[in-house]
Structure 1
Amino acid sequence: MKITSIEPRRVTLRYVTRGAYELSHYHDMTQRTVYVVRTDTGLVGLGESERTESQEVMDRYLGTNPFQWMGDETSLGLGTAMYDLMGKAAGVPVYQLFGQKHRSWVPVAAWTVSTHPERMAAAVADYAQQGYTWMKFHLSPFENVIDQTEAMQRVAPEGFRLHYDFTMHGTDDHMPSLLDRLAEYPIAGCFEDPLPGEDLDGYIELKVRAKRPIVLHHFPTAATYEVMRRPADAYMLGHMRIGDAQRRAGLFAAAGAPFMLQNSGSDITRAMTTHMMAAFPTGSFHTVTATEILQDRFVTEPLNPVNGFLRVSEAPGLGVELDEEKMAEFEQQETSPSARFLLETRYANGAHLRTRKDPNNPHFMVRPDWSRELPPPSFAAPLSTRYWDDDETDAFSEAYAEVEKEGSRLTFAEPDGGDRAQVLSTHVICRQPGRYIGWPTIVRRANDELVVAFSGDRDSHVCPFGKMQLVRSQDGGKSWSKERTILNGPLDDRDSGLIETTKGTLVASWFTSISFTTDDDYTEHAATISEQTREKESGHWVHRSTDGGDTWGEKIAVCSSAPHGPIQLADGRLLYVGNGTLDGEPVVVAEESADDGQTWSVISRILVDETIESGIGEPHLVECASGRLVAMFRTRWPSIERRLLFQSESEDGGHTWTPARPTTIFGYPPHLKRLADDRLLLTYGKRIVPQGEFARVSRDEGRTWGEELLLSPDYSMDLGYPASTQLADGTIYTVFYGILPGDEKTSLQGIHWRLR
């Protein structure tokens, strides 16, 4: 048997949607080379690598027998293909080529990169749902690992563990103390490379002191002499050629030392790594292949875990085959260009660090100290970081040019006393299996009861069956009642606003839609609705309850509507800014009610700045301490990337308004809330990366807005419409809708958080 050809096939793979934002700011892991190796006997072997081996290297394999490459020390990717061919030729699974099988199930960990605490929590929830019980990540001094751990602990199922990779220290932290702090959390599983690799004496001492296993990856003498000194509880071999890994596996076995392989790649790499771990006697620590970060899989049967383990294939060779249709697709897939960005880090004491990713340091995001430019970092500094992506503005270009020319900028300003969000807990408020829920509004009543109104029991985003529903909480949002329908008309009832007036009246608002009549799925249903019914029931409405929502009065027609309804002003009037129709013309108007919501009249119109070609809609407003009114709007720009929030103000109680103009805030729609200390809180959703629910704070009555605060990451285009209320203890409860992991349709979710 001779090798007759080696076909390197270059594929471009996409990151999973959930992690794409943070992964794309580290280093590119989307390019793979798949080797299709053929023999004169008709056998085909598969291998892969990140970079394509040179023709000189491939020529060494051509014309040889695959069995000549037993214990290959030339190329991990081509060596994998050799073992696939050997197994197929002998009719045995690859693990038998290494010796006896020591395990049929191999432990595996998921992998990600360091990012905002709530995005880390989303990764844990996602991976746990996929069947992983461990997650590894590299710590970054641009994030606070304590904040990250607390966020992940909140969502982790019992038994889920974190593998912390310290990348050989690189900070000014006292490592024993930091490890002790992390070990207080049940989710903390093990600590990799917390010290420089050459500090064997330090490792020996730390192993005794640490309350979690110590994992050693970077060895001063290439995993030989130091293993016999037993400086760690487990060991890692990373991207090591097959023969090298095999020899060291023998040393680990002689020492009785558990170890793991870390070989990043697709299912081909995962299959090879699984076979090796099955045959190596002490290969019992969880392997890492990072296969799960890629949404594009190109084998016929992808290898996915069950309760944290991968099943070892008994098929000849690796046990994987190419899906040629997907391979052809991914070979044509274009590479996304790496966009410029700046790192904006804010410290609790007011310091601000602006830097860029060092192009000469591929590990900059975890070891910026190697660039010898930044101040001494810490993994537990009180800070938060955002990526300022190139938004093609002059401000970004000037800031980037300054950092590129002069280096990182560290400045200091007085701490602002807030503008950091600490998520305390997350909740599922209402889930209706198989049904769709959307567009909630939350009210904290005078008796401290929380009430959420929404459109529920729907087929989908657009359908004929939307109902106005309520849920209630008596314990600050920890638990919620079963939903109760308060309105079910013949058309689609949607966008449920809600307020409680000073008289204790609940005023709910909504509009009815006939958009479903153009949907082929509802043609038959639409035919049952008469023109008279459509004419009578279409419109914008409110209705009132004077008994806390137990019973509701007749619906009252209004000129316009908005997702979160009206507000009550200090003078007692209800003011409602919304989209509607006036004299046959689409308008944005302000309506007032001076009788607790029983009658309404239009008092003004709000126009867009005449220099801007964009419509506005889905507004909300707030009254400031001075009486100034601030209204914000969703924009109708066709390009989703340009859908900035617009803003308008009134200084005379809503009778006149400044022309609505764009802010620099992307998102929609807005919800505004005046907090007890007179700051303004803005919450909104974003449907482009990074997706999720966000907040900003203004201390000057909407004239300027603070940094964007991530409340909850999300990964679909059907999300958002957050609304917030402040609880008696000053914390904030925000409700929104989105798709829970594993679900196909939306649910109502809640975030209990505080500003700090």
Structure 2
Amino acid sequence: MKIADVRVVVTCPGRNFVTLKIVTDEGVHGVGDATLNGRELAVAAYLRDHVAPALIGRDPSRIEDTWQYLYKGAYWRRGPVTMTAIAAVDTALWDILGKVAGLPVYKLLGGRSREGVTVYGHANADTTDQVLAEVARYVELGYRAVRVQTGVPGLASTYGVSGDKMFYEPADAALPTENVWSTAKYLAHVPTVFARVRDEFGPTLRLLHDVHHRLTPIEAARLGKSLEPYALTWIEDPVPAELQEGFRLIRQHTTTPIAVGEVFNTVWDCETLIREQLIDYIRTTVVHAGGITHLRRIFDLAALHHVRSGSHGATDLSPVCMAAALHLDLAIPNFGLQEYMRHTPETDAVFPHGYHYDGGYLHPAETPGLGVDIDEDLAARYPYRPAQLPVNRLEDGTVHSW
């Protein structure tokens, strides 16, 4: 069996997605997600111009060899564009392997380590009273874990809060919109929100909060300490992760668990954080960290250091990536949580899939491969639309981490 055709499909059924479809000379095909929010066309061009021609004629079962070929062979290693492209190829090859073997991918990864994949949803609203109602809605849907984000008094807009509560999409304009930020107002407000949520929903609901890289280490330490009475499962991305020594300072001051890594691309981005046990959850994901093959390496390293998975799962990850994530989540021993933002009906139609939600858990399809596909004819009805992520500024106009 050889790879005979490689196609890159760009579609926008409500938001932009890039999908790689690999077809063998025996007619078996596999799909991989290649979406990089706000930079989709860069990955599409990388795949179309550089990767696809090099795959023709290769044995699709040589997944590890192909991964090394694309990573080491490019010379310019790592980075989000390269690793997203590699992830798409890797995921599609796992899909093909499962179909040829007649097995769902999780069985090729060692079989079940659990019956279902615990997911968390996003409760967001402008005010605390409104977010309590949103948390209640997720609890009624059976969720055991909820991320809580609210507006900050005195700020016109805040990351994670949107008018559309189920399908939050931050890439909201062809050119970046601009938000205004105040750390002081934020730090004063957030503990009051979680005091209300915990009082309303009791001690067992798992609560999470995304800081989104906006604090310094000592500010993050202060936040973590102020949230300790409310027993959060994690605070996410408390500081920009380029200076990883900063996490040591956070650790010295708070026992609130830390999750980080949705912007990481390789195991080398998080090796120090994991090995020195400076984090509790690693949030790297299939599409941005080199596919199933490389993300498994990250999770294996994490398992040795009491770090659990908490993979990114926002709406900019297509159902192809979500399906792949669920197979890996089901197999690894150190699973923690899986983010799950539901897709629009239009997206679900373009990407027919067999995974399903039931009572707080997601379950992957039991069909051979990943259990997901792309309807190319339907995808063609939704052309690409330019959309970029916002830029963040302090109240004095200084550009700040978004």
Q: TM-score scaled by structure 1? A: 0.39
Instruction: Give the alignment of 1:128-527 within 5 angstroms.
Output: 128-136=139-147, 140=159, 141=181, 144-146=189-191, 148-149=193-194, 159-170=204-215, 174-185=219-230, 188-197=232-241, 203-204=247-248, 206-207=250-251, 209-217=253-261, 222-238=269-285, 239-242=288-291, 243-262=293-312, 264-282=316-334, 284-288=335-339, 290=341, 292-296=342-346, 297-298=348-349, 299-301=351-353, 303-322=355-374, 324=375, 328-333=377-382, 362=389, 364-365=391-392, 368=393, 373-374=397-398
Which of these residues, 63, 76, 81, is aligned with residue 87 of structure 2?
Answer: 76
Instruction: Give the alignment of 1:350-749 within 5 angstroms.
Output: 362=389, 364-365=391-392, 368=393, 373-374=397-398
The alpha-carbon distance between structure 1 residues 182 and 191, as it changes in their structure 2 partners (threshold 3 A), is same
Tell me the residue number matched to 2:30: 45
Partner amino acid, structure 1, of 2:329: M
The alpha-carbon distance between structure 1 residues 372 and 47, as it changes in their structure 2 partners (threshold 3 A), is farther
Q: Distance in 2 between matches of 1:207 and 1:250?
A: 23
Residue 158 of structure 1, CA deviation: 6.9
Q: Distance in 2 between matches of 1:226 and 1:337?
A: 35
Residue 204 of structure 1, CA deviation: 4.0
Larger Rg: 1
The structure richer in strand per residue is: 1
The alpha-carbon distance between structure 1 residues 162 and 294, as it changes in their structure 2 partners (threshold 3 A), is farther
Residue 334 of structure 1, CA deviation: 5.8
Q: Distance in 1 between matches of 2:364 and 2:56?
A: 30
Q: Distance in 2 between matches of 1:293 and 1:158?
A: 30
1:59 aligns with 2:53: yes
Q: Distance in 1 between matches of 2:365 and 2:192?
A: 40
Partner amino acid, structure 2, of 1:240: A
Q: Distance in 2 between matches of 1:300 and 1:247?
A: 29
Which of these residues, 19, 33, 36, is aligned with residue 21 of structure 2?
Answer: 36
Q: Check conservation: 1:269, 1:289, Cα contact below 8 A.
A: no
Equivalenced residue count is 332
The alpha-carbon distance between structure 1 residues 273 and 329, as it changes in their structure 2 partners (threshold 3 A), is same
1:102 aligns with 2:94: no
Tell me the residue number matched to 1:653: none
Q: Check conservation: 1:2, 1:64, Cα contact below 8 A.
A: yes
The alpha-carbon distance between structure 1 residues 328 and 133, as it changes in their structure 2 partners (threshold 3 A), is farther
Q: Distance in 2 between matches of 1:42 and 1:181?
A: 57
Residue 274 of structure 1, CA deviation: 1.0
Counting aligned pairs with the same residue, the percent is 20
Partner amino acid, structure 2, of 1:128: V
State the Cα RMSD in Å: 3.8
The alpha-carbon distance between structure 1 residues 176 and 224, as it changes in their structure 2 partners (threshold 3 A), is closer
Partner amino acid, structure 2, of 1:39: T
Unaligned 5+ runs, structure 1: 15-29, 339-358, 380-756
Q: Distance in 1 between matches of 2:273 and 2:353?
A: 40
Q: Check conservation: 2:3, 2:60, Cα contact below 8 A.
A: yes
Residue 86 of structure 1, CA deviation: 0.7
Q: Give SS of 1:54's match.
A: helix
Q: TM-score scaled by structure 2? A: 0.68
Q: Check conservation: 1:107, 1:286, Cα contact below 8 A.
A: yes
Q: Check conservation: 1:104, 1:312, Cα contact below 8 A.
A: no
Q: Check conservation: 1:124, 1:135, Cα contact below 8 A.
A: yes
Q: Give SS of 2:212's match.
A: coil
The alpha-carbon distance between structure 1 residues 150 and 131, as it changes in their structure 2 partners (threshold 3 A), is same
Q: Check conservation: 1:128, 1:157, Cα contact below 8 A.
A: no
Residue 106 of structure 1, CA deviation: 1.9
Residue 147 of structure 1, CA deviation: 5.8
Q: Check conservation: 1:162, 1:189, Cα contact below 8 A.
A: yes
Q: Check conservation: 2:259, 2:310, Cα contact below 8 A.
A: no
Q: Distance in 1 between matches of 2:270 and 2:245?
A: 15
Partner amino acid, structure 2, of 1:37: I
Q: Distance in 1 between matches of 2:355 and 2:362?
A: 7
Residue 5 of structure 1, CA deviation: 1.6
**Stretch deviating more after TM superposition (309-318 or 163-172):** 163-172
Residue 153 of structure 1, CA deviation: 5.4
Structure with higher RCO (Cα < 8 A, 6+ apart): 2
Residue 155 of structure 1, CA deviation: 6.9
Tell me the residue number matched to 2:79: none
Q: Distance in 2 between matches of 1:44 and 1:105?
A: 27
The alpha-carbon distance between structure 1 residues 235 and 172, as it changes in their structure 2 partners (threshold 3 A), is closer
The alpha-carbon distance between structure 1 residues 376 and 48, as it changes in their structure 2 partners (threshold 3 A), is closer
Which of these residues, 91, 115, 131, is aligned with residue 102 of structure 2?
Answer: 91
The structure richer in helix per residue is: 2
Q: Distance in 2 between matches of 1:60 and 1:137?
A: 45
Q: Distance in 2 between matches of 1:69 and 1:221?
A: 21
Residue 269 of structure 1, CA deviation: 0.9
Residue 318 of structure 1, CA deviation: 0.6
Partner amino acid, structure 1, of 2:100: A
Residue 134 of structure 1, CA deviation: 2.5
Unaligned 5+ runs, structure 2: 72-84, 150-157, 160-180
Q: Check conservation: 2:277, 2:306, Cα contact below 8 A.
A: no
Residue 271 of structure 1, CA deviation: 0.8
Partner amino acid, structure 2, of 1:192: E
Q: Check conservation: 2:354, 2:364, Cα contact below 8 A.
A: no
Residue 4 of structure 1, CA deviation: 1.6
Residue 89 of structure 1, CA deviation: 0.7
Partner amino acid, structure 1, of 2:362: L
Q: Give SS of 2:362's match.
A: strand
Residue 272 of structure 1, CA deviation: 0.3
